[in-house]
Amino acid sequence: MSVLEMKNILHQIIANTDDSGFLKMLLMVVQDQQNTVLDWEQLPDDLKESITKGLEQLDSGESKSHLQMVEKYKAWLQK
């Protein structure tokens, strides 16, 4: 489904409902989504450095999968 198709479907649903509870919930979801989008430039420098370091580690192969970590800490996780 294309973005345009999704927009049209959402528009139709919104235009055809009188359910204020549904519209309030939808509005809250949309507003929450808009508020959670972060701009890289707004992040603190130490956080940007940590993210950059982590991405560099991934690129250089310094990573472990979730499964590897679960296996490594299996005994601790079962406590």
The verdict on residue 26 lying in a domain is: yes
CA distance 22 to 14: 9
The verdict on residue 32 lying in a domain is: yes
Q: Name the residue with tokens 């707004």.
A: 42
The pLDDT tens digits of the residues spanning 20-64 come to: 999 999 988 888 777 765 678 878 899 889 999 999 998 999 888
Its domain, for residue 25, covers 3-36
Which of the residue ranges 7-16, 35-44, 63-72 would you say has the lowest mean pLDDT? Answer: 35-44
- When divided into structural domains, the chain yields a total of 1
- Contact at 8 Å (CB) between 14 and 23? yes
Whole-model pTM? Answer: 0.42
The verdict on residue 57 lying in a domain is: no
Stated length of the chain: 79
The verdict on residue 13 lying in a domain is: yes
The verdict on residue 58 lying in a domain is: no
